[in-house]
Structure 1
Amino acid sequence: MRARAPRDLAALPYAHRLEAFTGEIEREGTYEWVHFDGSVFEDVQGGSAQFGESAFSSVTFDRGRYRRARFDDVWMHAVRMVGTDLAETTWLDSECTAGVFAGTEIHVSEMHRTVFHQCKFDSVNLRGATLRDVAFVDCLLRDVDFGGATLTGVSFPGSTLDVARFDRAALTRVDLSEALGLGIASGIEALKGAQISAVQLLDLAPALARHIGLTVKEG
Structure 2
Amino acid sequence: MSRVLADLPYARRLASFDGDLEPDQEYDNLHLDGREFDEPDCRGTRFVESALTELTVLRGSFRFGRFTDAWLRGVRLVGTNLGQSDWQDTELIDSAWSGVEIVSAGMRRIRFESCKFESVNFRDCTLRDIEFVDCVLRDVDFAEATLRGLTFAGSTLTRLALDRARLQDVDLRGARSIDVASGMDALRGATINHTQLLDLAPAFAHAAGVVVRDD
Q: TM-score higher than 0.5 here?
A: yes
Q: 1:30 pairs with 26, 29, 32, which one?
A: 26
Helix, strand or coil: the match of 1:145? coil
Q: Letter of the aligned partner of 2:16 in structure 1? A: A
Q: 2:41 pairs with 31, 39, 45, which one?
A: 45
In 1, the alpha carbon distance for the partners of 2:158 and 2:203 equals: 14
**Identical amino acids, percent of aligned pairs:** 47
Q: Letter of the aligned partner of 1:28 in structure 2? A: D
In 2, the alpha carbon distance for the partners of 1:100 and 1:145 equals: 16
Q: Letter of the aligned partner of 2:151 in structure 1? A: S
Displacement of 1:104 after TM fit?
Answer: 0.4
Tell me what 1:82 maps to: 78
Q: 1:188 pairs with 158, 161, 184, which one?
A: 184
Tell me what 2:103 maps to: 107
Helix, strand or coil: the match of 2:150? coil
In 2, the alpha carbon distance for the partners of 1:124 and 1:137 equals: 17
Displacement of 1:214 after TM fit?
Answer: 1.5
Displacement of 1:51 after TM fit?
Answer: 0.4
Task: Show structure 1 runs of 5+ residues with no match.
Answer: none
Query: Is 1:118 paired with 2:126?
Result: no
Provide TM-score, normalisation by structure 2: 0.98
In 2, the alpha carbon distance for the partners of 1:211 and 1:62 equals: 38
Tell me what 2:205 maps to: 209
Task: Show structure 2 runs of 5+ residues with no match.
Answer: none
Query: Is 1:71 paired with 2:39?
Result: no
Query: Is 1:158 paired with 2:168?
Result: no
Tell me what 2:90 maps to: 94
Helix, strand or coil: the match of 1:214? coil
Provide TM-score, normalisation by structure 1: 0.96
In 1, the alpha carbon distance for the partners of 2:209 and 2:143 equals: 22
Displacement of 1:7 after TM fit?
Answer: 2.0
Displacement of 1:193 after TM fit?
Answer: 1.0
Count, aligned residues: 215
Helix, strand or coil: the match of 1:154? strand
In 2, the alpha carbon distance for the partners of 1:123 and 1:212 equals: 27
Q: Relative to structure 2, which stretch is displaced further, 203-212 or 112-121?
A: 203-212
In 2, the alpha carbon distance for the partners of 1:143 and 1:213 equals: 24
Tell me what 2:145 maps to: 149
In 2, the alpha carbon distance for the partners of 1:92 and 1:58 equals: 21
Tell me what 2:167 maps to: 171
In 2, the alpha carbon distance for the partners of 1:43 and 1:213 equals: 46
In 1, the alpha carbon distance for the partners of 2:177 and 2:49 equals: 34
